[in-house]
Amino acid sequence: MKKLFLTILVLTFSKTFSQTKNFIDQPYVETSAKVDTLVIPDRIYLNISITEKDTKGKISVEELETKMNEKLKSLGIVTEKQLTLNDLSSNYKKYFLKQQDILKNKNYTLLVNNAKIAGRVIVALEEIEISNVVLEKTEYSKAEEMIMTLKSEAIIKAKNQAIAMTKPLNQKVGNAIFISDFSNIVNMLSGRVAGIQIRGARSLEEKDKYEPVNIEFEKIKIETEVKVTFKLE
């Protein structure tokens, strides 16, 4: 029984070694290729904080919330789908130390689809004394589809490189026998206020001369890299 087990083990090892050896012994060429692209973000997340502190307690959070909801709807934003409540907190520390009324805060995340709307939101909220607006992050909704497209382009590029490398040798590039890939999404803007450029903004005192704020967000870089081993014929 032990002899039979040993024989099977040796045969299995020999088969595995033979397959590895065949792969190494056959002529091949290995190339790598990287492709990338820049896309305009179409999912912009704004963090909006409303607090009674901004109005020195004269306007309640509930009133500010109602005003904000109405203002956003006037811009064509569907608040039921695009606005979400993050948390509700109260400044209890001030309440106990200074014996003042509790100053409440609410934090929301607003999703908009382009920088122009984001600019309008910022200005519109300032008009109702809500100025705590911070950029959370930007995303590209079709990032996965773009990565797949770039993979295909990278494979083509890798094969063209292999053909260029073997042409002087009068050798023909055959089928791919090994492929590895690496994909990445970089420049995802998250909390980086420096990524916002506001142009043409006017003070709230010049409402009669108001012009929409022009905001440009940093583009998102999507890149992929492949390494391909081609059999030489």
pLDDT in tens, 98-149: 545 566 788 899 999 998 899 899 889 988 888 888 888 889 999 999 999 9
| Angle, CA 150 vertex, CA 218 and CA 184 arms, to 5° | 55
Q: What is the pLDDT of residue 100?
A: 54
Q: What is the pLDDT of residues 160-181, one digit of tens each?
A: 999 999 999 999 999 999 999 8
Q: Above 70 in pLDDT, residue 51? A: yes
Burial label for 231, CB within 10 Å (0-12, 13-18, 19+), is: middle
> Of 178 and 60, which is predicted with more confidence?
178
Cα torsion angle, 191, 210, 126, 85, sign: negative
Q: What is the pLDDT of residue 16?
A: 45
- Counting residues of the chain whose pLDDT is more than 70, the rounded percentage is 67
> What average pLDDT score do residues 185-208 get?
45
d(CA 42, CA 139): 6
> What average pLDDT score do residues 12-38 get?
70
